Structure 1
């Protein structure tokens, strides 16, 4: 009797075939997920962000009806949004409670129209399309508009950019590819981690650079230098206008495949309404309503990773909030003594003595940061592995955006003043925030009841600081970061 060279399979052939099929589908899904993580779905295929062009080419995806993601006043997410002749157009049969005034302000309008009225890309030859995801900073459409504030690093990055990423994490759409079914099935957005937008468009202004050049670092690092400003927008309209534009006026249609509209004017308009949730807390911080809705601090991770890659700095993550990243906690003191808003000289010296003593005793690693002496890349790199950032209220604290989430931010105020400028982004990114007024910690339960007093924050004031109190506070804070957990 001849024996078979191999033992018979324990499973019937139909089951084996099904297992092979499931394995194939699983591998395909994993590959698709990785591609989608790096890029965007585009016309049924995956198009990596690096391959996106800004030549206005339109795909068949642009012919679909608009989709309304949602948002809060000042930040709203749409798919297939159109612009034409001074107005934005949503072509959708979806029912929505969104008010146009919460989306766009100034001299612009937003119209909600039936899907059947959307332009036909096949017959409108002069349509210009922005593929992928666009951050649209919409302020400055009229001379009477609310100031854009783009020329301030804090507003540009810690409000507009941070709010954009929070909006994408909170109100984004289910994927168009194979993973869409899982997204719809679970309805869980806590793991939604959006990639930075493919470009930044500011159609109504050419003014966005701050006096220190940090905003240029943000545009280059996060948006990969893909920027369109007023002069570019006007050139698009001029080049595409004419008899083939598909409109009686001759003006072209401009389409956005996915867009986050950021509009401070709309936020201000909404905040002036007594019924607005944006005004209910009284702080009038543009990014506060949207970041309060974000599912987790991790929504910022790809943005921070992009910046670290651009400045060639290591990328760190904190496995547990409040844990240190290295052998000892790293403290970065942002020194404002060369500016007009600063600590009293003797108190600055006392703070330095405390920090140097902690360093010399081996309890901390210490970086004394005089921003005026550092390049932009060095400024970002110095906080890439920071555990604690310390400083007087000021623009330099915006660098907390680049500290791994779960750190500590210590901000010094005059005794009679407080504002949530840096508390809002710190909290959104999972940092523990500490406001110190001379010899007192200003507790969170008082933030919502105090009127934001900014008089004492005006330039030209020397702030008092009880250095004995701060020495005790910092010692306890450092000792509280006893656990070391980090990974690259």
Structure 2
């Protein structure tokens, strides 16, 4: 049985502990190494007990130290970096140091606003577009959408608060990197053509041209434009920019794998975070930003009266400046095709053809097989008369069999994305009824004989695929049954009765003649 502890025992324990503390404190002053708090283990091994070993290298210097971010100096100085417009075309503006507070974009500049482009050509309210006077007026921007202020005014809004101890700090917070800010409504985003062949194509033309990027055919998948850090869709939710077949997200992720996506909810988070007034007013500073706005583009001459494609403003502006090289679209096209595991030989068709043409050799080369791809829409709305469709397919099959060419009667709904992209990358002639399937022309290799044949209801015409084909180096033909039009002899845009119907006629011999003449080089 254990003996109970008395008061005397407790006092002895306390006295002993006190003596030990005094001793270690006294001797520790003179011999700190003995009382460092470390446990010393003797790991020395005698030579006769173990084989000699090479000393371990000192790896301490190779250890990656954790990154320490000092948020106390994160863009919170008293001076405000002024906004610079690097380039501008209606609907497409590249800024450095663009500010946003409570949903309003701010240009901070010592220069008067009159020296900047008209805000109607920069942005809009972002509302869906309707062709009515009321809607047109409602989409016109005001100072609530974009405003111009001086550095002094910016300092009054977001500068240092006199009642704060850290009076040198302002209340502007950076969004580093490059931002594509898309102000388009959801109305046009969930469509493969409008998203990939119009919005992203225009953005890339503007971005490439702004940074004067040179693309060499030998390394056409390389470019040195600043990487796109994020894409912000300010007026749609996470599903609103995705099309039903899934090509929008596939294309964006393949072409820009490092780019993060923010949508309306994220943008509203940023708006709400800067909604305070007075001493707590704050703003975001976007380091580099491309602002794209569909309504603003349609107020421009090129888009509004000539090609009716928003990308046209960006493309023609940069081409007229001489800032778009011959292979400007190749980095994007190749990124998507490589992501889809398309063989390099198919991707390089355009470069091989260009080299032959530059040397005065015939194109296509004798060993380069001609590929004719027909986008079959007979299972969906807007398609050919059944008998005309059958006659067209039979005629193309006969032509290709006689010439040793490849013919593909492609039903997109039966093919995977990878199969579709591999097929179009090899295609010499792409044809089909006006419709979304022709958007794949953006993945074709541009060659002296690459061709897009678009079948319209007679009298109908739209610039969608005509302008896009021409901008990317393909020859386009608009077929009205037994006649055709090609640039610069183009008809007026029109959507007559029957344009969207299932009774579109086509004269097969007319199409066969176009294909033969183009491949032979007799229809440049």
TM-score, shorter chain, exceeding 0.5: yes
Cross-structure match for 1:20: none
* Pair 1:112 & 2:148 matched: yes
In the alignment, the residues of structure 1 paired with residue 350 and residue 263 of structure 2 have an alpha-carbon distance, to the nearest angstrom, of 37
Cross-structure match for 1:313: 342
**Which of 256, 262, 265 does residue 295 from structure 2 map onto?**
265
Residues 223-275 of structure 1: per-residue CA shift (max 9 Å, x gap) = 3262110122233445x4587xxx5284642222222111112234x25xxxx
User: Structure 1, unaligned stretches of length 5 or more?
Assistant: 1-54, 141-146, 180-190, 483-488
Q: Secondary structure at the match of 2:278?
A: coil
Q: Give the conservation status (yes or no) of the 8 Å contact 1:318–1:324.
A: no
Cross-structure match for 1:74: 91
**Which of 224, 227, 231 does residue 200 from structure 1 map onto?**
231
Q: Give the conservation status (yes or no) of the 8 Å contact 1:416–1:453.
A: yes
Cross-structure match for 1:289: 313
Q: Matches of residues 11-410 of structure 1 in structure 2 within 5 Å?
A: 64-93=81-110, 96-106=115-125, 108-114=144-150, 117=154, 123-124=169-170, 127-131=173-177, 133-140=178-185, 148-170=187-209, 172-173=210-211, 194=225, 197-206=228-237, 207-224=240-257, 226-238=260-272, 240-241=273-274, 248=278, 250=280, 252-268=282-298, 270=299, 276=301, 278-281=303-306, 283-293=307-317, 294=319, 295-314=324-343, 315-319=347-351, 320=353, 323-324=363-364, 327-406=368-447, 407-410=450-453
In the alignment, the residues of structure 1 paired with residue 193 and residue 97 of structure 2 have an alpha-carbon distance, to the nearest angstrom, of 30
Residues 263-299 of structure 1: per-residue CA shift (max 9 Å, x gap) = 112234x25xxxx554343x53222222223334422
CA gap of 1:205–1:391, structure 2 versus 1, over 3 A, is same
Q: Deviation at 1:59?
A: 7.0
Q: Deviation at 1:353?
A: 1.5
Q: Give the conservation status (yes or no) of the 8 Å contact 2:211–2:225.
A: no
Q: Deviation at 1:397?
A: 0.6
Q: Secondary structure at the match of 1:453?
A: coil
Aligned residues: 393
Q: Deviation at 1:215?
A: 1.2
User: TM (normalized to structure 1)?
Assistant: 0.72
Residues 181-236 of structure 1: per-residue CA shift (max 9 Å, x gap) = xxxxxxxxxx9874663321112211112122111212221232621101222334
Segment drifting more, 353-362 vs 120-129: 120-129
CA gap of 1:475–1:289, structure 2 versus 1, over 3 A, is same
Cross-structure match for 1:475: 516
CA gap of 1:148–1:103, structure 2 versus 1, over 3 A, is farther
In the alignment, the residues of structure 2 paired with residue 252 and residue 386 of structure 1 have an alpha-carbon distance, to the nearest angstrom, of 53
In the alignment, the residues of structure 1 paired with residue 212 and residue 96 of structure 2 have an alpha-carbon distance, to the nearest angstrom, of 11
**Which of 436, 450, 467 does residue 424 from structure 1 map onto?**
467
CA gap of 1:127–1:445, structure 2 versus 1, over 3 A, is same
In the alignment, the residues of structure 2 paired with residue 385 and residue 94 of structure 1 have an alpha-carbon distance, to the nearest angstrom, of 52
Q: Secondary structure at the match of 2:517?
A: helix
Higher relative contact order (CA 8 A, sep 6+): 1
Q: Deviation at 1:366?
A: 2.4
Q: Deviation at 1:336?
A: 0.8
Q: Whose radius of gyration is greater, 1 or 2?
A: 2
In the alignment, the residues of structure 1 paired with residue 420 and residue 389 of structure 2 have an alpha-carbon distance, to the nearest angstrom, of 21
Q: Deviation at 1:389?
A: 1.1
User: Structure 2, unaligned stretches of length 5 or more?
Assistant: 1-70, 126-140, 161-167, 215-221, 358-362
Q: Give the conservation status (yes or no) of the 8 Å contact 2:76–2:171.
A: no
Q: Deviation at 1:430?
A: 1.2
User: TM (normalized to structure 2)?
Assistant: 0.67
| Aligned-pair Cα RMSD in Å | 3.3
CA gap of 1:305–1:199, structure 2 versus 1, over 3 A, is farther
In the alignment, the residues of structure 2 paired with residue 472 and residue 89 of structure 1 have an alpha-carbon distance, to the nearest angstrom, of 56
Q: Give the conservation status (yes or no) of the 8 Å contact 1:137–1:201.
A: yes
CA gap of 1:433–1:60, structure 2 versus 1, over 3 A, is farther
Q: Secondary structure at the match of 2:426?
A: coil
